[in-house]
Structure formats: C-alpha cells, structure tokens
Structure 1
Amino acid sequence: MTISDTLPACFALAGAVLLVAAAVRRRGDLTRVIKAHGLLPPFLMRLTPLIGPAEGLAGAAVLAGWVTGEARLLRLAAAAVALWYLALTVYLAVLLRRRGGVPCGCLDGTSPVSAAKVGRAALLALATAPLVAGWPPVPAELSARLLACGLAAFTAGFVVVAGKVADLHGTSATPGR
C-alpha cells in the first residue's frame, strides 16, 4: 500500500470510526433529543431507539470489512455509512434552518447543530462513497490495513476537533455571546 492509497483510506474510514465512537460515547437520550427537534413524523420517531446501535453496527462493519479484506462486506457497509451521512447532512441542514443552534445529538446530547456539523456530515458522506466502488483497494498486508485504521481514528479525532474549533470561532464572532 502506498501513501497515495493510505490517505484516501484514512478519510474513507474516518466516518466509520466516528459512527462507532458516537454509538459508544454518546451521552444523553438521543430519542429525547430527536423528539425535541420536532422534525420527524411519529412513525419514524418509533425507530429512533435503533439509531445508535445501527450507526455503530454500520461503522463497525466497514472497519471489519477493511481489516479482514472482505470486499463485499466493506462495500455494502460503506454504502450504508455513506447513505447514513447523506441523510444526516439533510437532517442537520433542515434542523439548523428551522430550529437554529439546538442540540443535535451528534457525539453527545448537548452540542448544538452548526454549519460545521452539516459540512462535516457532507464531507464524511463524500469521503466514504469511493469505498462502495472499491477504491482505494484493500491492501493485502494486515499491517497496512491496521495502519489505515489507526490513521482513520486520528483523522476522525482531527475532524471532531476542527468542528469544535469552528463552532467556537462562530460563537465568539457573534456579538453578544
């Protein structure tokens, strides 16, 4: 695996890492947060308790497909993750437009929705999509696959920190805050 393959893999896998982290780390009741948004119809509200486990499973399946080199699992799970981030992008954009800076329920139950979070979700959807088509190729060496996962975790952390900095900058630039 060359550096030209490692970097795209880091970005593509970062979304999966964040989904696993969100499922494990999320504080607060996501169902309560989503209900407070008032955006989903009642029939979809009944499915909200499944969101955390489903996103964690999809992210874990991408990582498992990558680590094991199982291309079919990787492509199917990557499609689920890319679609998840696309749906999240739309949901967060509508939430931001209609409700302003209310808590979004992303990694925790208290941080507000922001343009940075909408952008992050869109970026992660775009970054994950090439895995559906089989790019970058899964390397034959286990050490290279594990290296890409480790760098993906670093990339995911960097994306979260960059979003927090963008949110802080946006808050401090607003008069009266």
Structure 2
Amino acid sequence: MTVFETLPACFTLAGAVLLVVAAVRRGDLTSVVRAHDLLPAFLVRLAPLFGPAEGLAGAAVLAGWLTGEVRLLRFAAAIVALWYLALAAYLVVLLRRRGGVPCGCLDETSPVSPAKVGRAVLLALATAPLVAGWPPVPAETGTRLLSCGLAAFVAGFVIIAGKVADLRGTSAAHGQ
C-alpha cells in the first residue's frame, strides 16, 4: 500500500490531531462554556473534562493507526466522529443564539462561525469511513508514520486557515 492510498485517512487523522492540539492549547474552557449559557449546569460542571476527553479520543485514533490496532482505531474513530457531530450541532445553536461569540474550539478568543460548523461536519464525515474500516491500515510502519506526518501538516493548515478566516472576519467588521 502506498501513501497515496492512505491520503483519505490523513483527513481523519488530521481531525484526531486537532483534538489533541485543542486539548493541549485551550485554556479555561469552563468559563467559555458558562458564558455561552447553552448547557445545563450539570454539563457545565463537566466542562473541565471535555478537553482531556477529546485529547484522549484523538490520541487513541493516532495510537490505533500507528500501532495497526484496528479495534482501537475503529472504536476511537467512532467516538471522534460523534464528538465532531456533537460539536457541529453545538456550534450551530451557539451561532444562532449568540452570534459571533468565542466558541472555545482551539482558544478562548476565536469567534464561532459557519466555517467552524462546516469544519466540524467535514471532520465527522471524514472520520466515519474509518469506523467502517476504510481505508485499511497499512501494514508498513513507514507508511503509517508518513500518514500521521501528513495529517499533522493538514491539521496545521486547518488551524492557520481558521486563524486567517478569523482575522478576515475581524477586518471586515471594522471596515478594513
């Protein structure tokens, strides 16, 4: 199997990398979620667990891919796909009710936007085939490592594109 045959997995793995990055980079998610005023109090109290949970799910996908452990990979991919679907639904409600407030996706300042909703939906859709076992995990360790490297590159590109979109939205709001 060549690395080109695993390119579809790079998007799934990029979603996993983004979850790990979000878990590491994000600051006080609880205050952001509380400010949204969308969740019941008992879920707001669980907000400190959101970051570690998403980081663990993303890390499990990466570990499953790197080790070739298909059962771990499929289970973790299912959790990641559901996480992204839940995030997309939450962001839609947040966008409709609160407008462009900070969403807490990767930091406490980036505003919620239709692009972030779309990103969550696309990452959920990209992860779904991996749950079903497609693409297959390559037998070659080098190919698996290269796929993860490409996924990290894609994740970095997604982060930078999101920051540029945030800046562009800010400039448009100020007439620049």
TM-score, normalising length: structure 2: 0.94
- How far has the Cα of 1:44 moved from its partner? 1.5
CA distance in 2 between counterparts of 1:149 and 1:3 reads: 10
CA contact (8 A) 1:5 1:137 kept: no
CA distance in 1 between counterparts of 2:9 and 2:141 reads: 14
CA distance in 2 between counterparts of 1:33 and 1:175 reads: 24
In the alignment, residue 146 of structure 1 is paired with which amino acid?
L
- How far has the Cα of 1:175 moved from its partner? 5.9
- How far has the Cα of 1:2 moved from its partner? 2.5
CA distance in 2 between counterparts of 1:94 and 1:62 reads: 28
- State the secondary structure of the residue aligned to 1:76: helix
Extract unaligned runs of 5+ from structure 2.
Answer: none
CA contact (8 A) 1:20 1:56 kept: yes
**What does 1:14-53 align with in structure 2 at a 5 Å threshold?**
14-27=14-27, 29-53=28-52
Kindly, what percent of the aligned residue pairs are identical? 80
Q: CA RMSD in A?
A: 1.4
**What does 1:1-177 align with in structure 2 at a 5 Å threshold?**
1-27=1-27, 29-174=28-173, 176=175
CA contact (8 A) 1:89 1:119 kept: yes
Extract unaligned runs of 5+ from structure 1.
Answer: none
TM-score, normalising length: structure 1: 0.94
- State the secondary structure of the residue aligned to 1:19: helix
- How far has the Cα of 1:173 moved from its partner? 3.3
In the alignment, residue 2 of structure 2 is paired with which amino acid?
T
Count of residues paired in the alignment: 176
Deviations 1:52-93 (A, max 9, x none): 110000000000000000000000000000000000001011
